[in-house]
Structure 1
Amino acid sequence: MSTRYLEALFNPASIVVLGASERPDNLGGMVLRNLMSSDFPGRLLVINRNNYANVHGVLCVPKVSRMPFSPDLAIICTPPETVPKVIKQLGEAGVRTAMVMTGGMSRAHSKTGRPLMYAVRDAARKNGIRVLGPNTIGIMVPSRSINATYAHMGVLEGKIGFVGQSGTIASAIIDWAFARGVGFSHFLTLGDSMDIDHDDLIDYLAQDSNTRAILMHIENIPNPRRFISAVRAASRTKPIIAVKSGRVPESEWMPQQLPDGLTRSDPIYDAVLQRAGVLRVNGLDEMFDALESLSRMRRVRRDELVIMANGVGPGVMAVDRLSALGGSLAKLSQSSIDKLAELLPPYWTRKNPIDLNYDASPELYAQALQILARDPNVSNVLALYAPSLTEDNLQIADAVIRTAKQSRLNIFTCWLGQSSVLDARDDFYAAGVPTFFSPEKAVKAFMHHVNHQRNQRLLKETPESFTELNMDRAAAQKVVSEVLRSGRNHLSNQEAREIISDYGIAAVETWYVDDMDEAVELFHRVGGPVNITLIHEKSCHPFLEEKTGRGRYQSTISRLNDEDAIRDSCQLLLREYRRHFPQSGFLGFAVQSTHQHMGGIDFSVGVTRDPVFGPLVVCGAGGASVNVMTDRQLALPPLNMVLARELLQRTHMYKLLKEYSRKPEQDIRSVCETLVTLSQIVIDIPEIKGIEILPLLFNDKGAIAVDVAIDLGEPARPIINPYPRELEEWVTLPRSGRRIIIRPVRAEDEPAHIEFHERQSPDSIRYRFFQYRKQFTHNDVAQMVQIDYDREMAFVANATREDGSEETLGTVRVWTDADNLQCEFAVMVHDECKGEGLGVLLMQKMIDYCRQRGTVEMIGNVLPDNQPMLKLARKLGFHTKYNPEEEVTDLWLQLNDPEDDWQRQRLAGGAESELW
Structure 2
Amino acid sequence: MSTRYLESLFNPESIVVVGASERADNLGGMVLRNLLGGDYPGKLLVLNPSDYENVHGVACAKSVADMPFVPELAIICTPPKTVPKMIRRLGKAGARTAIVMTGGMSRSHSKTGRPLMYSVRDAARESGIRVLGPNTIGLMVPARKLNATFAHMGAVPGRVAFVGQSGTIASAVLDWAFARGVGFSYFLTLGDGMDIDHDDLIDYLAQDTRTRAILLHLESVPNPRRFMSSVRIASRTKPVIALKSGRVPESEWFVHELPAGIKHSDPIYDAMLKRAGVLRVDGLGQMFDALETLTRMKPLRRESLVMMANGVGPGVLAVDRLAYLGGELATLSESAIKALAELLPPYWTRRNPIDLGYSVSPELYAEVLKILSKEPELANVLVMYAPSLAGDSREIANSVIQAIKGTRLNVFTCWLGQSTVMESREEFYRAGVPSFFNPEKAVMAFMQHVRHQRVQRLLTETPESFTDHLSDHSKTRRVIVNALRAGRHYLTNEEARGVLSDYNIRAIDTLFCDDVDEVLGAFSVERRPMDITLVHEQACHPFQSYSPNQKRYNCTMPKLNSEAAIIDGCQSLLEDYGEHFPESGFLGFAVQFSYQHVGGIEFSVGITRDALFGPLVVCGAAGAQINVMTDRQIAFPPLNMVLARELLRRTYMYKLLKEHSLEPEHDIRAVSETLVTLSQIVIDIPEIQGLEISPLLFNDEGAVAVNVAINLSNEPGKRIIQPYPRELEEWIVLPRSGRRVIIRPVLAEDEPAHRAFHELQSPESIRYRFFQYRKHFSREDVAQMVQIDYDREMVFIANAAREDGEGEETLGTVRTWTDADNLRCEFAVMVHDKMKGEGLGKTLMGKMIDYCRARGTAEMVGDVLPDNRPMLNLAEYLGFHIKFNQNEEVMDLSLVLNEPEKDWQRERLNKGGH
Q: Distance in 2 between matches of 1:731 and 1:107?
A: 61
CA contact (8 A) 1:470 1:504 kept: no
- Evaluate the alpha carbon distance shift between residue 207 and residue 8 of structure 1 in structure 2; reply closer, same or farther with a 3 A threshold: same
- Evaluate the alpha carbon distance shift between residue 283 and residue 551 of structure 1 in structure 2; reply closer, same or farther with a 3 A threshold: farther
Query: In the alignment, what sits opposite 1:291?
Result: 291
Query: In the alignment, what sits opposite 1:195?
Result: 195
Alignment of 1:617-656 (within 5 A): 617-656=617-656
Letter in 1 for 2:836: K
Q: Residue 901 of structure 2: which of 886, 899, 903 is its match?
A: 899
Q: Distance in 1 between matches of 2:904 and 2:582?
A: 63
Letter in 2 for 1:808: T
CA contact (8 A) 1:471 1:502 kept: no
Alignment of 1:546-585 (within 5 A): 552-585=552-585
SS in 2 for 1:433: coil
Query: In the alignment, what sits opposite 1:450?
Result: 450
Letter in 2 for 1:856: A
How far residue 626 of structure 1 moved from its aligned partner, in angstroms, is 1.3
- Evaluate the alpha carbon distance shift between residue 618 and residue 404 of structure 1 in structure 2; reply closer, same or farther with a 3 A threshold: same
How far residue 550 of structure 1 moved from its aligned partner, in angstroms, is 9.2
Deviation by residue 1:684-717 (Cα, 9 ceiling, x = unmatched) = 1111111100000001100011111111111112
Q: Distance in 2 between matches of 1:425 and 1:563?
A: 81
Query: In the alignment, what sits opposite 1:125?
Result: 125
How far residue 805 of structure 1 moved from its aligned partner, in angstroms, is 2.3
Query: In the alignment, what sits opposite 2:525?
Result: 525
Q: Distance in 1 between matches of 2:103 and 2:779?
A: 49
- Evaluate the alpha carbon distance shift between residue 468 and residue 416 of structure 1 in structure 2; reply closer, same or farther with a 3 A threshold: same
Query: In the alignment, what sits opposite 1:253?
Result: 253
Letter in 1 for 2:757: F
Query: In the alignment, what sits opposite 2:789?
Result: 788
Identical-pair percentage:
69
How far residue 316 of structure 1 moved from its aligned partner, in angstroms, is 0.4
Query: In the alignment, what sits opposite 1:347?
Result: 347
Q: Distance in 2 between matches of 1:719 and 1:674?
A: 21
Alignment of 1:31-70 (within 5 A): 31-70=31-70
Q: Distance in 1 between matches of 2:661 and 2:908?
A: 61
Q: Distance in 1 between matches of 2:838 and 2:547?
A: 61
Q: Which moved more, 1:885-894 or 1:211-220?
A: 885-894
SS in 1 for 2:624: coil
CA contact (8 A) 1:508 1:597 kept: no
Letter in 1 for 2:907: Q
Q: Distance in 1 between matches of 2:13 and 2:546?
A: 58
Query: In the alignment, what sits opposite 1:773?
Result: 774
Q: Distance in 2 between matches of 1:420 and 1:807?
A: 64
CA contact (8 A) 1:470 1:503 kept: no
- Evaluate the alpha carbon distance shift between residue 833 and residue 470 of structure 1 in structure 2; reply closer, same or farther with a 3 A threshold: closer
Q: Which moved more, 1:455-464 or 1:802-811?
A: 802-811
* 1:140 paired to 2:140: yes
Deviation by residue 1:787-845 (Cα, 9 ceiling, x = unmatched) = 00110001111123474722211111101111111111111112222222221211111
Deviation by residue 1:749-808 (Cα, 9 ceiling, x = unmatched) = 111111222222222222211222222111111111100011000111112347472221
Alignment of 1:434-513 (within 5 A): 434-468=434-468, 471-513=471-513
How far residue 280 of structure 1 moved from its aligned partner, in angstroms, is 0.2
Q: Distance in 2 between matches of 1:513 and 1:887?
A: 78
Letter in 2 for 1:747: A
Deviation by residue 1:578-597 (Cα, 9 ceiling, x = unmatched) = 22212111111101122224
Q: Distance in 2 between matches of 1:697 and 1:543?
A: 18
Q: Distance in 1 between matches of 2:843 and 2:393?
A: 69
CA contact (8 A) 1:597 1:697 kept: no
- Evaluate the alpha carbon distance shift between residue 266 and residue 550 of structure 1 in structure 2; reply closer, same or farther with a 3 A threshold: farther
Q: Distance in 2 between matches of 1:769 and 1:470?
A: 34
Q: Distance in 2 between matches of 1:501 and 1:125?
A: 50
CA contact (8 A) 1:261 1:546 kept: no
Q: Distance in 2 between matches of 1:681 and 1:354?
A: 54
Query: In the alignment, what sits opposite 1:96?
Result: 96
Q: Distance in 2 between matches of 1:342 and 1:804?
A: 57
How far residue 663 of structure 1 moved from its aligned partner, in angstroms, is 2.3
SS in 1 for 2:377: coil
Deviation by residue 1:333-374 (Cα, 9 ceiling, x = unmatched) = 101111111222222111111111111111111111111111
SS in 2 for 1:545: coil
Query: In the alignment, what sits opposite 2:731?
Result: 730
- Evaluate the alpha carbon distance shift between residue 632 and residue 547 of structure 1 in structure 2; reply closer, same or farther with a 3 A threshold: farther
Q: Which moved more, 1:171-180 or 1:312-321?
A: 171-180
Query: In the alignment, what sits opposite 1:717?
Result: 718
- Evaluate the alpha carbon distance shift between residue 471 and residue 594 of structure 1 in structure 2; reply closer, same or farther with a 3 A threshold: farther
Deviation by residue 1:641-661 (Cα, 9 ceiling, x = unmatched) = 000000011111112222222
CA contact (8 A) 1:165 1:218 kept: yes
Query: In the alignment, what sits opposite 2:407?
Result: 407
CA contact (8 A) 1:856 1:897 kept: yes
SS in 2 for 1:858: strand
Q: Distance in 2 between matches of 1:227 and 1:571?
A: 54
Computed over aligned residues only, the root mean square deviation of the Cα atoms, in angstroms, reads 1.6
Query: In the alignment, what sits opposite 2:687?
Result: 687
Q: Which moved more, 1:523-532 or 1:8-17?
A: 523-532
Query: In the alignment, what sits opposite 2:421?
Result: 421
Q: Distance in 1 between matches of 2:884 and 2:462?
A: 39
* 1:309 paired to 2:309: yes
Q: Distance in 2 between matches of 1:682 and 1:18?
A: 51
Query: In the alignment, what sits opposite 2:614?
Result: 614
Q: Residue 837 of structure 1: which of 839, 864, 870 is its match?
A: 839
Q: Which moved more, 1:603-612 or 1:381-390?
A: 381-390
CA contact (8 A) 1:162 1:214 kept: yes
Q: Distance in 2 between matches of 1:375 and 1:197?
A: 48
Query: In the alignment, what sits opposite 1:279?
Result: 279
Deviation by residue 1:186-222 (Cα, 9 ceiling, x = unmatched) = 1000011111111111111111111111100000000
Q: Distance in 2 between matches of 1:369 and 1:274?
A: 35
Q: Which moved more, 1:125-134 or 1:340-349?
A: 340-349
SS in 1 for 2:329: coil
Q: Distance in 2 between matches of 1:100 and 1:28?
A: 11
SS in 2 for 1:718: coil
- Evaluate the alpha carbon distance shift between residue 238 and residue 603 of structure 1 in structure 2; reply closer, same or farther with a 3 A threshold: same
SS in 1 for 2:900: coil
- Evaluate the alpha carbon distance shift between residue 451 and residue 551 of structure 1 in structure 2; reply closer, same or farther with a 3 A threshold: farther
Query: In the alignment, what sits opposite 2:859?
Result: 857
CA contact (8 A) 1:541 1:710 kept: yes
Letter in 2 for 1:889: M
Query: In the alignment, what sits opposite 1:875?
Result: 877
Q: Distance in 2 between matches of 1:112 and 1:878?
A: 53
Q: Distance in 2 between matches of 1:702 and 1:97?
A: 59
CA contact (8 A) 2:467 2:676 kept: no
SS in 2 for 1:152: coil
How far residue 546 of structure 1 moved from its aligned partner, in angstroms, is 5.9
Letter in 2 for 1:850: C
SS in 2 for 1:102: coil
Q: Distance in 2 between matches of 1:342 and 1:89?
A: 79
How far residue 545 of structure 1 moved from its aligned partner, in angstroms, is 2.9
Q: Distance in 1 between matches of 2:712 and 2:583?
A: 20
Letter in 1 for 2:499: I
Give TM-score scaled by structure 1 length: 0.98
How far residue 909 of structure 1 moved from its aligned partner, in angstroms, is 2.2
How far residue 544 of structure 1 moved from its aligned partner, in angstroms, is 0.6
Q: Distance in 2 between matches of 1:291 and 1:589?
A: 59
Query: In the alignment, what sits opposite 1:824?
Result: 826
Give TM-score scaled by structure 2 length: 0.98
Unaligned runs of 5+ in 1: none
Q: Which moved more, 1:857-866 or 1:636-645?
A: 857-866
CA contact (8 A) 2:308 2:356 kept: yes
Q: Distance in 2 between matches of 1:470 and 1:47?
A: 64
CA contact (8 A) 1:162 1:216 kept: yes
Deviation by residue 1:32-91 (Cα, 9 ceiling, x = unmatched) = 111111111111100001131111111001101110011110001111111111111111
Query: In the alignment, what sits opposite 1:545?
Result: 545
CA contact (8 A) 2:546 2:552 kept: no
Q: Distance in 2 between matches of 1:549 and 1:482?
A: 39
Q: Distance in 2 between matches of 1:202 and 1:257?
A: 27
How far residue 467 of structure 1 moved from its aligned partner, in angstroms, is 4.2
Letter in 1 for 2:90: L
CA contact (8 A) 1:511 1:591 kept: yes
Letter in 1 for 2:349: T
